[in-house]
Structure 1
Amino acid sequence: MGDNNSGKSYLMSLLWGIRNLGGELLYADETMEITETYGRLRCWVKKQIETAREQGVHTVLASEIGDELQSVLQERINQNRDKFVKAIFNSSDVEIEELQIELTGLAGVSLDFIVREYGRNMGVAITNTGNDGVELALSEKERATGILEEKTGRYFVNTLMALVLDSHGGFNREIYFPAARTGFMLTKDIINKVSRRTTFNVAAEQETMVPFVRPINQFLDVINDLTFDGESNEDFKEIVQYLENGMADGTVEMSALPNKEAMYVPNGKTSGMPLRITSAVVTELSPLILILKYKRYVDALFYEEPEMCLHPQLQQKMGRVLCKMVNAGVQMNVTTHSDIILQHVNNMIRLSGREDREEICHQLGYMARDLLSPQKVKVYQLKAVAGGKTKVEELNCGENGFAVPTFNDALDRIMDEAYVIQE
């Protein structure tokens, strides 16, 4: 939440970058200076691997080495910050003075160190218990030359950072939805064509191409690569049905043609039409519909202004979609100027705490997966202040949800003017 030009999009892009590019650019740097803290962390990793060699599997809490993890992480951030920001925005014009990531909740993160023998070879793995991990294969020669200590020490410190921060990258399961979705959906084929021509054709003079920021490039890649690979995600089917029947008044499909053109089929029709001749509501909703319909795994969405082009009635329905997405296990990171969406979120938080919620849900047509517990929601207000800076403030959740001063102040001003003008 916040004023225009208060830095919401920049902050959202930065958060997207930490989750998608952090492992590659922040803490997986093979040239990192071996500091005293880093040395202690590497020795700790080696010790856990040696224990795993004896036991097969060795489980330990990440909090055991929390201080060292925090220190090494900040050292690497300080060294790689400028490169990281440039990679996100594809430009040297965006700078940040300082970046800090605070590790919290390490007591709840357990790590499995696993050593497996494969004949004369060996595999060493670290996994975030029950989730993803990385395995490093070592040949007989590598084991004999003592490279185990050096190779696993540096390699698994990087792995440990990625697992603790839950940042693996490369899977396109955490997707950025830019505010200009309609424009990108209508021009994605032209963008791809121009990109191919620029990349593969040799010309005497070629116009310099100004790149999009990295999150937008990811959005275009994900949309272009959508394929229906096997069974769809059952958790998303009901949300897609609600979006199509309750908001778009028709279905959105990806054609089987080579260019994978998105087509809109209005309710009651049998043939589709290209998005370029549909309403703005359809073009705004189509990326979300297509991703939920054709992409089986979605871990997080970074969604800019989901209220774009939506009538107030549909803004409330979008608020309902966001709640459903959270309850389907998708982390929703949302920027919005919509007090209607926020009010719907507040209503679902309040309703979740009422003893008569089942009766009210039946009366209003809500289901359990429409409700939100306050523990699942955090709201931050961004406010532009003097000197081109932005103040970021976490808002407290009360019994009736969140009160956003920037929204309330604007509504109060317009109501005060209405009383003066219409009396």
Structure 2
Amino acid sequence: MKIKITDFGPIKDFEVDLSKDLIFIYGKNNIGKSYAMSVIYLILKNLLEKIPDILFLKLKSLNEKIIEMIQENINNHKILKEKFNDLLRILIESIFLEKFKHSLLNTFNDLNNISNRFSKNAFNINLNFDFINFDISFLDKSLIIKNVSLNYDFTIKKVKVHRNYKIDEKNKKIILYFIDMNDDFKNIDALFKVILFYIYVEIKKVIRDVYFLPASRSGLYQGLNAFSQIIAELSKNRSYVTKKIELPAISEPVADYFLKLSEINATKKTNKKIAVISSMLEKDLLKGEVSFDSSTKKILYKPDFSDIVLNMEATSSMVAEISPIVLYLKHVISLDIINNNILGDDFVDEPTKEKFKNSKPLIFIEEPEAHLHPEAQAKLIEMFAKLAENGVKLMITSHSNYMFNKLNNLILDKKIDKNRIGCYVLKLTDSGSVAHELKIDEFGVDDQNFSEIAEELYNENLELLNKFNKND
């Protein structure tokens, strides 16, 4: 399952393999790492939402047109598949496109602003799944779905009695049955319902849900939490407000992060494996316990061997940055995994639910190393590796060579399977940044990011030493 982003803001080309459990994105500042993470998050978030029932009513109304389309092309499977793909394009637009457009506007403000900054080319996003491929494109100032292609062959068979369609997953075939040219293709609208549902299932069986933890996590939460109280006060006294008030723009991933933290219910059950990892983070990194006050909506920290309970603004920057990650693990991700174990999707049948058993939550984390001493960075990447081994997927942007080197040691020590890791580095070209997938073997990840500056600093040091020795 891959997503390829082309001509999106500062990005010329970026492709990511979402089957990996621990994904790192490296690169210099202002090169497009956050752009890539944000748009991938928004795509998955919208695709993972339940398909609205009203769409299935629309399908029912199209039943006659679908039957007519099949009858006209019953002897030409190639054209029939093209017609099916075109109808699927319309349906995918109905399910997904308007929601995704709103998410882009909520995050980037103007669709015209997210075309390639260098070439001015309009952006294109390719979704390459096992079952279906399609593109999301910005064309003539409109967001469209194009190049829809089912990766299953169509077969039409003549039979003596009515039979429903069949989706043969093993041989990747969709089989339609007919008696004669005027056959009504019983329940053909249900076929499209199933095809649309297959798109959902294909993502859901790999990724249970998505969560975004932005940079400056603690500061953002404190600011937004205080701001929500200001809005409440203004609402109560709005008759006295005579001047226009401009509200700050908050991107959708940041808003989702704030809302998820605000909704934490500390009384609910937790997953034992995730609870152990979050406790290790508290013990080894934070040297204290993180909690959430549901009444005040505040994150609290209690240092070890002390009765003092501190608000985040009274803690160190390291504690303030790591505490939201710990809270997410304790109360959001842990609950997600529990819900996955009990297979709580009430609109999914039991055989399909079985496909979700290995589904995992995906956490997007921007710069987790911020404000951390190198020793703490090394410990943090150990915890991330444990999460990847215990049912959690992570996509991380980072500038930390310490975390990079520790990751290599974990691979060498076989603490994490190299096949579960994906590493990418964005490098700037004349037409925007291009992602290069880094080679990974049993010795670790090929360094195409930090080695250049390390060599540059080493050579600079040699020159200065030579200069010092000559002057001596």
Is residue 291–residue 301 contact of structure 2 (8 Å, CA) maintained in 1? yes
Pairing 1:235–2:297 present: no
Match of 1:384 among 401, 421, 428: 428
Distance 1:83 1:410, change over 3 A: same
Pairing 1:285–2:312 present: no
Match of 2:223 among 163, 183, 187: 187
Pairing 1:312–2:337 present: no
| Deviation per residue, 1:212-251 (Å, 9 max, x gap) | 1110001000111111243211011221121111111111
Displacement after TM superposition at 1:401 (Å): 1.2
Which residue number corresponds to residue 83 of structure 1?
101
**Equivalent residue of 2:289, what SS?**
strand
**Equivalent residue of 2:336, what SS?**
coil
Is residue 374–residue 402 contact of structure 2 (8 Å, CA) maintained in 1? yes
Match of 1:297 among 313, 329, 336: 336
AA partner of residue 288 (structure 1): I
Which residue number corresponds to residue 253 of structure 2?
215
- For 1:6-45, what aligned pairs fall within 5 Å after superposition? 6-23=31-48, 30=55
Is residue 26–residue 77 contact of structure 1 (8 Å, CA) maintained in 2? no
AA partner of residue 391 (structure 2): G
Displacement after TM superposition at 1:188 (Å): 3.3
Which residue number corresponds to residue 286 of structure 2?
248
State, as a whole percentage, how many aligned pairs show the same letter: 19
Which residue number corresponds to residue 95 of structure 1?
114
- For 1:126-145, what aligned pairs fall within 5 Å after superposition? none
AA partner of residue 15 (structure 1): I
Which residue number corresponds to residue 176 of structure 1?
212
Displacement after TM superposition at 1:273 (Å): 1.2
Is residue 262–residue 275 contact of structure 1 (8 Å, CA) maintained in 2? yes
Work out the CA distance in 2 between the residues paired with 1:416 and 1:305: 28
Work out the CA distance in 1 between the residues paired with 2:206 and 2:232: 29
Is residue 48–residue 204 contact of structure 2 (8 Å, CA) maintained in 1? no
Distance 1:84 1:152, change over 3 A: farther
Work out the CA distance in 1 between the residues paired with 2:200 and 2:234: 35
Match of 1:415 among 455, 458, 465: 458
AA partner of residue 291 (structure 1): Y
Work out the CA distance in 1 between the residues paired with 2:193 and 2:236: 36
| Deviation per residue, 1:350-405 (Å, 9 max, x gap) | 111xxxxxxxxxxxxxxxxxx11011101111112213x11011111123111231
- For 1:322-401, what aligned pairs fall within 5 Å after superposition? 322-352=384-414, 371-387=415-431, 389-401=432-444
Which residue number corresponds to residue 275 of structure 1?
312
Is residue 365–residue 395 contact of structure 2 (8 Å, CA) maintained in 1? yes
Q: CA RMSD in A?
A: 3.8
Displacement after TM superposition at 1:104 (Å): 3.2
Distance 1:374 1:191, change over 3 A: same
| Deviation per residue, 1:43-79 (Å, 9 max, x gap) | 8xxxxxxxxxxxxxxxxxxxxx9x9779946994799
Displacement after TM superposition at 1:6 (Å): 1.1
Work out the CA distance in 2 between the residues paired with 1:182 and 1:422: 43
Is residue 25–residue 84 contact of structure 1 (8 Å, CA) maintained in 2? no
Distance 1:199 1:322, change over 3 A: farther
Work out the CA distance in 2 between the residues paired with 1:197 and 1:39: 55
Displacement after TM superposition at 1:327 (Å): 1.0
AA partner of residue 95 (structure 1): I
Is residue 247–residue 314 contact of structure 1 (8 Å, CA) maintained in 2? yes
Is residue 66–residue 188 contact of structure 2 (8 Å, CA) maintained in 1? no
Work out the CA distance in 2 between the residues paired with 1:320 and 1:105: 35
Give the TM-score of the pair, scaled to structure 1. Answer: 0.69
Query: Unpaired runs of 5+ in structure 1?
Result: 44-64, 107-128, 130-145, 353-370
Query: Unpaired runs of 5+ in structure 2?
Result: 1-25, 71-80, 116-122, 133-168, 170-183, 338-360, 467-472
Is residue 27–residue 161 contact of structure 1 (8 Å, CA) maintained in 2? no
Distance 1:39 1:307, change over 3 A: farther
AA partner of residue 411 (structure 2): I
Displacement after TM superposition at 1:150 (Å): 7.8
Work out the CA distance in 2 between the residues paired with 1:175 and 1:24: 14
AA partner of residue 102 (structure 1): N
Which residue number corresponds to residue 132 of structure 1?
none
Displacement after TM superposition at 1:149 (Å): 4.5
| Deviation per residue, 1:229-286 (Å, 9 max, x gap) | 4321101122112111111111111125x11322111111023111111100110011
- For 1:195-214, what aligned pairs fall within 5 Å after superposition? 195-197=231-233, 202=238, 203-214=241-252
Distance 1:255 1:76, change over 3 A: closer
Is residue 349–residue 401 contact of structure 1 (8 Å, CA) maintained in 2? yes
| Deviation per residue, 1:134-175 (Å, 9 max, x gap) | xxxxxxxxxxxx9x9487455544333222232999x9x421
Distance 1:399 1:377, change over 3 A: same
Work out the CA distance in 2 between the residues paired with 1:192 and 1:404: 44
**Equivalent residue of 1:269, what SS?**
coil
Distance 1:23 1:88, change over 3 A: farther
